[in-house]
Amino acid sequence: MSVLNVIDTQTITASQSGYVVVKSGVLRVLATSASSIQVDAGPAITLVANESLLISCGKAKSAKIAVATDAAAMVVTAEGFSGGGRHTFSVGDFIQTVDGGDTDGFTSDFESAAASGKKVTAVTASTITTDYDSSAASGNYTLSAADATAGTVPLIQRTVKLTAGSANVIVEQVQIVGG
The structural domains of the chain, with segments of one domain joined by +, span: 3-59+161-177, 62-160
Residue-level pLDDT at 80: 73
The b/e string for 128-158 (b: 16+ C-beta within 10 A; e otherwise) is: bbbbbebeebeeebebeeebeeeebbbbbbb
Res 2 pLDDT > 60:
yes
Mean pLDDT of 47-62: 96
pLDDT value at 84 more than 60: no
pLDDT of residue 82: 54
DSSP 8-state symbol, 109: G
Q: How confident is the model at residue 131 (pLDDT cuts 50, 70, 90)?
A: very high
- On whether the CB atoms of residues 89 and 76 are closer than 8 A, the answer is no
CA distance 78 to 89: 10
pLDDT for position 103: 85
The predicted pLDDT at position 130 comes to: 97
pLDDT at residue number 79: 84
Query: Per-residue pLDDT for 85 more than 80?
Result: no
Q: Options 2.60.120, 2.70.98, 3.40.50, 2.40.160; which CATH number does 3-59+161-177 get? A: 2.60.120
What's the CATH fold of domain 62-160? Answer: Elongation Factor Tu (Ef-tu); domain 3 (2.40.30)
Q: Which of 138, 73, 85 lies closest to 108, judged by CA?
A: 138
Model pLDDT, residue 63: 93
The larger pLDDT score, comparing residue 178 to residue 112, is at: 112
